[in-house]
A and B are shown apart, each in its own frame.
Chain A
């Protein structure tokens, strides 16, 4: 009986704890446009796809901050430096009218087969700048591991696996620079 009561009490705590609502993010007073480019790469630097959820999740979270995403679709294959890529993003006609530009670069590399999983390392650099003042760019770096279950899954799957951490890191940068929340 004691075991059952203890189990039920713990279960209730777990369920209630999991239902806690997160603190709403600081929000800009009026809708503001932001040009966003995601550059996702495999170990050899070639572009990979990580599914639509990453973009959808990022766009949705930016919108909660009153930041309206202007998605770009650029070919950054030839630009090999962050600074040059940021210039291309800022100069793209589709970014006209956006006071902010956001460049997210992610690269996935295979680490090893680890205890039944395929461990990948994903390195992310997020760079945020006023479109007309790239010298004021702020950056955030993140290195995080992805654990894939199957051999056929590749770098795109690894980036998709860590999208939550990736989005959280980008939003942290946005909150510090744009919405000025702690």
Chain B
């Protein structure tokens, strides 16, 4: 009797009250005063590990369950999601927290148990990736990052299959919007408890649309070197005096891009997990450039000059538990190659090879007090001549290593080697783990690079500036950072 009475008084639910609204997010913010003229980052980019090479960032994702999923029942459910993010904060970036630099990066609705069992439908942004390289903050195996459309995701047992279709035009072309039909799929299969593989890819098709100036066109007869120098119209005028109105008209065409991705994940023993990602990508070409000659603007469509750009990227990250509760290790490798079959005359980010390795050790003095040590080694090599300056007074524009005011190369070396070291204590209120957050870090960073002043800075960029200000020869860069990173 008493028990029966008690059952009336105790809340009659098997689970806690659940709000239909939830929010999650991410933040990192830091103070990194730089007394060597830099902008607070140790090096140029994530190739040397994301730590001390990234700036502040914040993301907020909102979710509302319009029709909540009921445990154990295959009844329809639906939710809406929105994600706002950006790298700006008052006092931490040049724009001082301007909301104009935040963006609504994701907006979508999901529904399950509608029409097909075990299928989740999604309409809106479709961003999907197999996982990421945590030390680099890179996602080589990612599709639909630019796409807004419809996807269906089948998840049952060991099979996870995503098929999607949509339009990537706004993300790729922005104000010069043109429809880019995108379709693709990603399949992940769990072959064993700790072994899984994934493959996928996407096709991007930008159709020929006569009359649409933002659709792919090519202006016939363009020379690549003239295009790089911005002298196409001048050359035409020299060869055809007084006939600027006869500059060839653009020819409409369609364009095709694609990306293939692959993934292998496994773990065993002290190897907690290993992620191996790869991508091979053929990028869509650019739209047009504008040259001003004799006071007139001329639009030159450059699809044929920019549609042979390819990118290969392979990354691996292994997380080891060396001494349980005392020492963890994460080791990453990254290889990338970009090549541009249209460009044989000038260095660019589309014609380079890079290799990198990052090793992070984290030891736990107490569950809340850790010591982090990270080091990285990287080589970047331009495939099209010099791209880096080794000395403060070395050449700016060059040809074959010699000073040349009309040279298309930059500096005096085609290779940049960089080594970084980061060390410091980490406070982790939630306890052990390399990736446990929030973490409060006091880090000292040291970089050596074969390039002079190899970090974001306000030093000279041209010969006339050099004559005014000179330039220091800094190969070492020191930085101290107070920072916090959290997911919430």
Residues of B within 8 A of A129 (CB): 10
Q: For window 242-289 of chain B, which residues contact chain A by CB distance below 8 Å?
A: 265, 273, 275
B11 near A82 with CB under 8 A, answer yes
Q: What 0/1 pattern do residues 1 to 34 of A give for CB contact below 8 A with B?
A: 0010001001100110111000000000000000
Number of interface residues of A (CB under 8 A): 58
* Interface status of B72 (Cβ within 8 A of chain A): yes
Residues of A within 8 A of B37 (CB): none
Contact A147:B487 (CB < 8 A) given known A10-B482, A87-B3, A114-B26: yes
Q: What 0/1 pattern do residues 131 to 160 of B give for CB contact below 8 A with A?
A: 110100101000000000000000000000
A135 near B6 with CB under 8 A, answer yes
Q: What 0/1 pattern do residues 11 to 50 of B give for CB contact below 8 A with A?
A: 1111111110010111000000001000000000000000
Residues of A within 8 A of B10 (CB): 82-83, 86, 127, 129, 134-135, 137, 139
B81 near A82 with CB under 8 A, answer no
B487 near A80 with CB under 8 A, answer no
Residues of A within 8 A of B427 (CB): 14, 17-18
Binds A, one of B188-196, B379-387, B400-408, B469-477: B188-196
A19 near B59 with CB under 8 A, answer no
**B11, B18, B442, B444 — most chain A CB neighbours (10 Å):** B11
Residues of B within 8 A of A80 (CB): 14
CA A113 to CA B348, docked complex, whole Å: 33
CA A3 to CA B25, docked complex, whole Å: 33
CA A82 to CA B139, docked complex, whole Å: 43
Residues of A within 8 A of B59 (CB): 114-115
A123 near B18 with CB under 8 A, answer yes
* Interface status of A107 (Cβ within 8 A of chain B): yes
Residues of B within 8 A of A19 (CB): 366, 369
Residues of B within 8 A of A115 (CB): 25-26, 59, 85, 487
- One of A45, A81, A113 near B71 (C-beta < 8 A): A45
A44 near B71 with CB under 8 A, answer yes
Q: What 0/1 pattern do residues 128 to 155 of A give for CB contact below 8 A with B?
A: 0100011101010111010101111000
Excluding A19-B366, A87-B7, A137-B6, 10 further A-B contacts by CB distance (< 8 Å) are A14-B425, A14-B442, A44-B72, A80-B14, A81-B12, A114-B83, A143-B18, A143-B22, A147-B487, A149-B273
- 24 residue pairs from A and B, CB less than 8 Å apart: A7-B444, A7-B480, A10-B442, A10-B482, A15-B369, A18-B366, A43-B69, A44-B71, A45-B14, A79-B14, A84-B7, A85-B14, A107-B16, A112-B24, A112-B63, A114-B59, A119-B61, A125-B13, A133-B2, A141-B17, A150-B131, A152-B190, A152-B194, A165-B430
Q: Which residues of B contact A (CB under 8 A)?
A: 2-3, 5-19, 22, 24-26, 35, 59, 61, 63, 69, 71-72, 81, 83, 85, 129-132, 134, 137, 139, 188, 190, 194, 196, 265, 273, 275, 319, 365-366, 368-369, 424-425, 427, 430-431, 435, 437, 440, 442, 444, 480, 482, 487-488
